[in-house]
Amino acid sequence: MSTSVPTCAMPDALNLIPTAELRERAWTARRALGERAVILGHHYQKDEVMEFADITGDSFLLAQRGAAATEADLVVFLGVYFMAESANILAAPGQQVVLPDLGAGCYLAECADIFTVRDAWDQLVRALPNKRIIPLTYMNSGADLKAFVGEHGGAVCTSGNAERAFRWARSEGDAILFFPDEHLGRNTGIRIGLDADAGAVWNPRRAELGGIDPGVLADTRLVLWKGFCNVHATFTVEQVAQARRDDPGVVVIVHPECPQPVVEIADEDGSTEYIIGRCEDLPAGTSVVIGTDWNLVNRLAQQHPDKHIRCLNEHICPCVTMNRITLAKLTWCLESLAAGDVVNTVTVDEDIAHWARVALDRMLALA
């Protein structure tokens, strides 16, 4: 398990302070911390806190870069809980990982937990005694799930290297159990040559075999966990069609966490880093609609005023838990650290950290 140690709570009065004053106080505290702290900012965070990020990127890149900043003994993660866990697992000796709001989470990561995954694994092993099952977990999962796949011969993957991980798993075994994102799993399965309906969906709310028919399970090469991102799952085929009706020349790019029909009809799909790279590479004047987190799309539109960039669903509701870190909470966190009060540390149990590191190292070895 991972543990969190909040030494105090943010005073409610900070929420009433004007933004300009909060920014000034946050920068004062940041300067006081100097090289003792490195601030990591995930792409999906709000602009008001990303302003303070020393390094921006996806969750795994940030965890790596935080560990590489060996001059810093404080790693402040602007992200969500599973990201802070990964940063702690990869942290350099003596580094402490701090999350300004311990309630910052990920709906997708919470679609699978260690208890239901263990139960599913036990059922699969009994149902498929003559098959070797390779478990894979998406980076968007808890440290205990990363440890589970590490201990059972599997690996972690990101949206950027999922195809490579799936090909490796197929070469290592007879079937893949992938969790927690059904859509990324199905889209990746198609990329490695499986049919769109090849994956059997394991519903953790169904007691027996996740609701999968035993005959179907015996023949399947891919078992997909019934989980999804509550942002990416909202994008639809009709939204893509409407974007093209509005502008026939538009380029539609979506994240592979989107449902398979959306990915199929889009012009391109790829990880967050892929989307960022494409927005940089496309020529001036290009009209682009993007199916991913609104904070990122809005930031890309600001960074590339020579292009017409907007979100595939402009009325999308931002992920509440992903946006829990506010300027007020970051200000409180930085001021506390500058005063010598290390708040909201995230520490992963040593045994779990060991096996999670095994799974992460397997992913890196695939490169």
CB 355 within 8 A of CB 147: yes
Which superfamily, per CATH, for 109-229? NadA-like (3.40.50.10800)
d(CA 361, CA 154): 11
Q: Residue range 196-209: average pLDDT?
A: 90
Q: How crowded is residue 37: how many other Cβ atoms within 10 Å of its Cβ?
A: 22
Distance CA 182, CA 201 (A): 7
pLDDT in tens, 66-106: 889 889 999 999 999 999 999 999 999 999 999 999 999 99
Identity of the residue numbered 279: C
299-317 pLDDT tens trace: 999 999 999 999 999 888 7
Confidence check: pLDDT of 116 > 60: yes
Q: Taking the model in full, what pTM does it have?
A: 0.93
CB 204 within 8 A of CB 120: yes
Tokens of residue 41, six digits: 């900012």
Q: What superfamily does domain 2-105+321-348 belong to in CATH?
A: NadA-like (3.40.50.10800)
64, exposed or middle or buried, with CB in 10 Å at 0-12, 13-18, 19+? middle
Q: Rounded mean pLDDT of 152-163? A: 95
pLDDT of residue 8: 60
The Cα 162–Cα 167 span in angstroms is 9
Q: Residue 223 pLDDT more than 70? A: yes
Residue 195 has pLDDT above 90, yes or no: no
Buried b or exposed e, range 320-330, using 16+ CB within 10 angstroms: ebbbbbbbbbb
pLDDT value of residue 108: 96
Q: Which two tokens stand for residue 351?
A: 């045994």
Average pLDDT over residues 226-241: 97
Whole-Å CA distances, 14 to 77, 312, 342: 20, 35, 18
Tens of pLDDT, residue by residue over 253-286, are 999 999 999 999 999 999 999 999 999 999 999 9
Query: In which residue ranges of the chain is CATH 3.40.50.10800 found?
Result: 2-105+321-348, 109-229, 232-311
CATH 3.20.20.140 fits 232-311, yes or no: no
Note the pLDDT of residue 3: 62
The letter for the amino acid at 88 is N
